[in-house]
Every structure is written in C-alpha cells, then in structure tokens.
Copies of this chain bind each other. A is one copy, B any other.
C-alpha cells in the first residue's frame, strides 16, 4: 500500500495525501477527513525510508554503551529513552562491551543508515576512529570525561569532585590508608579520580597512603580482587571501588574470610544501585544523577540536530555533580564527620 494507491482510492492527488499528513492546515477539512478515513480503511502507513530519502532526516539516533550490566548505565539509557521517545525518535542500540572495534563497526553501520545523531558513552575510540566519526558529520555527544574528536558536545559526571567528597569523608572518619579498586575498562575517569583523591589528601594535611588496583567491573571481579587483597600482608583501612558490583564482590570475599565490615575494613563504592541499601552493612557510595545525565545528553544532541546551523562548531559542556550517600559500610559517622564538615 503506497501513497499513489491511497490517492487513487480517495480520488485526490498524491500531494493532497502527503499534505494531510504533513501540513493538515493546507487542506480542506472535509477532504482531510475523507483522506484520513480512506487511509485507515486501506491500513496505510507511510514508508519512512522514502520520506527519509527525501528529507535526509531519519528521526533516529544511535546509542553506544560499554555495558548494560551496570546499574549506572541502565539509568543513563533510561534517561535517554525518555527524552527520545517524547520526540518520536527511534534508537539503534549497541552494547560495545568496551571494545573499540565493536564500537567502530557499529558507527560505520549506523552512519550508512544515515542516522541523525550518536550518543557515545564512555567511548574508547582511538584518534583515527574518532576522525572517521568526525568525517561522517553526524552530530554526536560523548558521555564521559575524555574528549573525542568529532563530538561537538560532551557531558559528564564530575568524578573529581565526587572522589574528593568521598575521600574527604573517609579521612574524616580517621582512615589513613585508602585503596582504590578501579575498572580495567573505563580508564576515562581514572585521572579525574586521582585528582580528586589528591585534592582531599592535600586539604586534609595528613599523610594518607593509597594503593591502586584494577579489575573487571563485576561481582566476580570484585570477589577476585577482594580475595587477593585479603591474602596480602599490607592491608588498607578503607577500600573504594569504582562500581557497586565490585564492592559487592569484595563484601562477599570479606564475608567468606571472616573479615568484618566496617570494623576491619571500610568499604565504599563510586556508584549507587538499589543493592547498596539492601546488603549489610548498607554501602556508603556516590549517588550519580545518571537519569538526569541521560536526559541532558539526549536533549543536547536533539537540540544540536534540530538547529544544526545555529551553533555549529561550538563545543558545549555539561557537568553534573555526584552526591555522597553515607550509609554504614565505613564506620560510625555521627561524631567525627560533624567535626570535619
């Protein structure tokens, strides 16, 4: 069923059909009604491709996420979806597993499909791949700290500030050796985290020791790291993990070996999933405005798509602040923390 047949059946021209759909005010109400009922009767749906071909506008964006197993990314997706659905865009989705090759192949694929925009999350594209993306001239936005050539706009969560607040909290509780368990995939945030750590350290005026290690961002990965840590001789007062999943794994390892949290080890995470308040002890962590981040990214991108000419070449930034959620996994806060803050 195409527009020509509908036109024939309705006894009008194709232009009228098209106008009923795109500029209804240009056609006589009775004609409009007649055409609409005829469309319904014939079960006609306009062919989106033909339309896109003409307007070079697909009302479609692509979304690349390194992992959907993390609660943080799920929230980002959810935020993006909300905005995008309200504007009648469709989403091509790809779980990249943090693999730049999958990422790049996917970008080529959607570029051929002439999508209107791309949202990258914690991208690992190398310089040449990014250049290729830039050449496609497709508006894109990166959620993540590092700048990707060709992404006009980027927005991210201020991990520097978040880490600063978390470490300050831990120092305030009296911890002197605070280790970090980071994600071996998303190295984007590492520099930020280090900077935040150093700021808290400097400001405290104390000698705070720190050891960094890297592991897979999963319960499994956390468990392995936890076991490794327990077996070693030099042992931190506190451990901060990049993800909840890692923290949960560490908790499990601690439990298995009889290590008490928070009495023998303070534990905190840099993200916040529903599990954090469920486990015991409930986990102190950073709460991120992840849904908001997704919505912001989507809105920036859609703006960029829809008034392309307006702000071409002007890189924008959007920075969102995490919030410290103090629970019970780092020890008693009542007294010490009030003094510090």
Contacts and interface: CB of A to CB of B under 8 A. Distances in A.
Interface of A: 43, 45-50, 52-53, 58, 60, 63, 68-69, 71, 74, 77-78, 81, 85, 88, 90-95, 102, 108-114, 135-136, 218-220, 245, 248-249, 251-252, 255, 274-275, 278-280
Given A43-B135, A74-B68, A91-B92, A48 B278 contact: no
Copy tally for this chain in the complex stands at 2
A68 to B, nearest CB: 6
Given A49-B113, A69-B74, 11 more contacts: A45-B111, A45-B136, A49-B52, A63-B93, A69-B71, A91-B94, A93-B93, A218-B274, A219-B274, A248-B278, A249-B278
Central interface residue in A60, A90, A219, by most chain B CB within 10 Å: A90
A47 B114 contact: yes
29 contacts: A43-B135, A45-B108, A45-B136, A46-B112, A47-B53, A47-B112, A47-B114, A48-B112, A48-B113, A49-B49, A49-B50, A49-B52, A49-B53, A49-B114, A77-B95, A78-B95, A85-B102, A88-B109, A90-B110, A91-B92, A91-B94, A92-B92, A219-B275, A219-B278, A220-B274, A248-B275, A251-B278, A252-B278, A279-B279
A63 B249 CA distance: 31
**Interface majority SS on A: helix, strand, loop or mixed?**
helix
B275 A275 contact: yes
B53 A112 contact: no
A58 B49 contact: yes
A50 to B, nearest CB: 6
B81 A95 contact: yes
Contacts of A81: 94-95
Nearest to A113: B48
Contacts of A113: 48-49, 60, 90
Nearest to A91: B93
A90 B69 contact: no
Contacts of A255: 280
